[in-house]
Structure 1
Amino acid sequence: MFEIINTLKEEDITENFVAIGNLINENKEPYHSALIIKYNSDLIQYHYTGSEIELRNIDFEYFHKRTKTIHKEEIPAFIAYCKSIQKNANPIYGYFYSGEYYDNNGEHFCKKEIGERMTCVGFCLNVLKGFLEVDYLKYNDWDSSTHSNEYLIKYAEKHNLDILKIQESHRRISPIEILSSGFFYNTPISKIEIDSKVDEIKEYLINY
């Protein structure tokens, strides 16, 4: 699966691109997601660390897959969009995603009670949906069963939130799942499509 590239060790044949990146742990399991941007001589990681949004040169060994949804001609506009988000966004960490996004001014737009709460994957989804102006994933394919209900109960108690108002937004889309999305062009991308690639990617990373 040569379409997945070790960002720091291998050369991607495409000159400029936006990609989905994963960091992997010592067991070669993905645990963190970022958007990887190659533009001219710059190789950039754009991600939510759980405490801040970073847009800077890569210094971690990601594995990335170029997304087919953002074309190289759009990259300058995409970088400007990312900078607007970095300036205006204020995410809070949590296992939630309900189809929200960042608008052209970098402001978060959400119709649900949960507001601006997300994981590193959720952040990537907010960014991709905002730039593409369509849902990137069929996010409702992932329901509350994808993450612990005990987590939801404790999260609501800790943050003084009404569990009945946030439970529909509670879901976990994993780093390897968003990495798998890079193989598909037509949006929104379904969980069935993504699941068709997950085992192949796991095997590739284990044997890398």
Structure 2
Amino acid sequence: MAKKITQKTIASNVLKSTEISKEEDFVACTTEIDEKGNCYHSGLLVCFEGELKYFHYTGKKVELIDTLPANLYLKKIDLIDEELICSFLWHCEKLSTEANPTYGFFFDESYYDSNGDYYLKNAKIDITTCVGFCIKVLTGFLKTPYLETADWNITSLDSLGDNKNRFLAYLHNLSITEGISIDELFNKDKLKRILPSEMFSTSFYTKAPIRKIETDEILSLIENHFLTVSAA
């Protein structure tokens, strides 16, 4: 039986960007938190030969940068072995020059392939969020789904609150400006929201695909950890 993940486990494994040791190579899930301790942005951090690279999708562009935000926290991913970090960094470098997503809460089980003629696989359009971007990057490298996104459904959009209707109106405009079928965009099986805190929760699991039932088990612990950190 896997060891139970506790609040103590989380506290001892989550690091702030200023606490990073660059003596070992690693890949990590990251989150940026606001002044209240809410996770609002997801990314990936690569440490290779003493250098750090922050890889993320801002909602407007893909960035692979050296500068780390002051409000960045990370948890190393055990799914990627240390001897593969160099290959993973190359994967990110290649995608940083090719990937050009459009923002939207749209999860269609597509992924990013750095070895093919075109980076996007299993879809015709690349619509995603910062969370979806990380999932596509990891899935493409692992050659197996990183997260079982089908476990989430359209009701997860309710977490947008008043912004839900704005997002649906945005999708309608997107169909016009990009020439995308309304039926394709408004697919109830693909419209969903996966929270940055849920994405961060995945970093504590070591077998893919990671399931929602697993992230649900520790989600409140993750969110409480960051609320405590921000209050300190």
TM-score by length of 1: 0.92
Shift of residue 110 of structure 1?
A: 2.8
- Give me the whole-angstrom Cα distance separating, in 2, the residues matched to 1:190 and 1:14: 32
- Give me the whole-angstrom Cα distance separating, in 2, the residues matched to 1:178 and 1:85: 20
Q: What's the CA shift string for 1:66-96, capped at 9, x where partnerless?
A: 1111111101111111111111111111111
Shift of residue 151 of structure 1?
A: 4.7
Quick check: 2:43–2:55 contact (8 Å CA) kept in 1? yes
- Give me the whole-angstrom Cα distance separating, in 2, the residues matched to 1:79 and 1:14: 16
> CA distance change for structure 1 residues 36 and 91 in 2, over 3 Å: closer, same or farther?
same
Partner of 2:88: 78
Structure 1 letter corresponding to 2:16: N
Structure 1 letter corresponding to 2:121: F
Quick check: 2:30–2:45 contact (8 Å CA) kept in 1? yes
Structure 1 letter corresponding to 2:173: K
Shift of residue 152 of structure 1?
A: 5.4
- Give me the whole-angstrom Cα distance separating, in 2, the residues matched to 1:100 and 1:152: 21
1:195 matched to 2:216? The reply is: yes
Shift of residue 104 of structure 1?
A: 2.5
Q: How does 1:161-180 map to 2 (within 5 A)?
A: 161-166=180-185, 167=187, 168-180=189-201
Partner of 1:156: 171
Q: Provide the identity percentage.
A: 31
TM-score by length of 2: 0.83
Runs of 4+ deviating beyond 3 Å: 11-14
Shift of residue 12 of structure 1?
A: 4.5
Structure 1 letter corresponding to 2:196: P
Partner of 2:5: none
Q: 2:139 aligns with which of 111, 119, 129?
A: 129
Quick check: 2:46–2:52 contact (8 Å CA) kept in 1? yes
Q: What's the CA shift string for 1:143-162, capped at 9, x where partnerless?
A: 11111463553133211243
Q: 1:27 aligns with which of 20, 36, 44?
A: 36
- Give me the whole-angstrom Cα distance separating, in 1, the residues matched to 2:39 and 2:198: 10
Structure 1 letter corresponding to 2:50: S
Quick check: 2:106–2:129 contact (8 Å CA) kept in 1? yes
- Give me the whole-angstrom Cα distance separating, in 2, the residues matched to 1:54 and 1:77: 18
- Give me the whole-angstrom Cα distance separating, in 1, the residues matched to 2:79 and 2:110: 18
RMSD: 1.7
Quick check: 2:22–2:50 contact (8 Å CA) kept in 1? no
Partner of 1:108: 120
Q: How does 1:18-97 map to 2 (within 5 A)?
A: 18-61=27-70, 62-97=72-107
Larger radius of gyration, structure 1 or 2?
Answer: 2
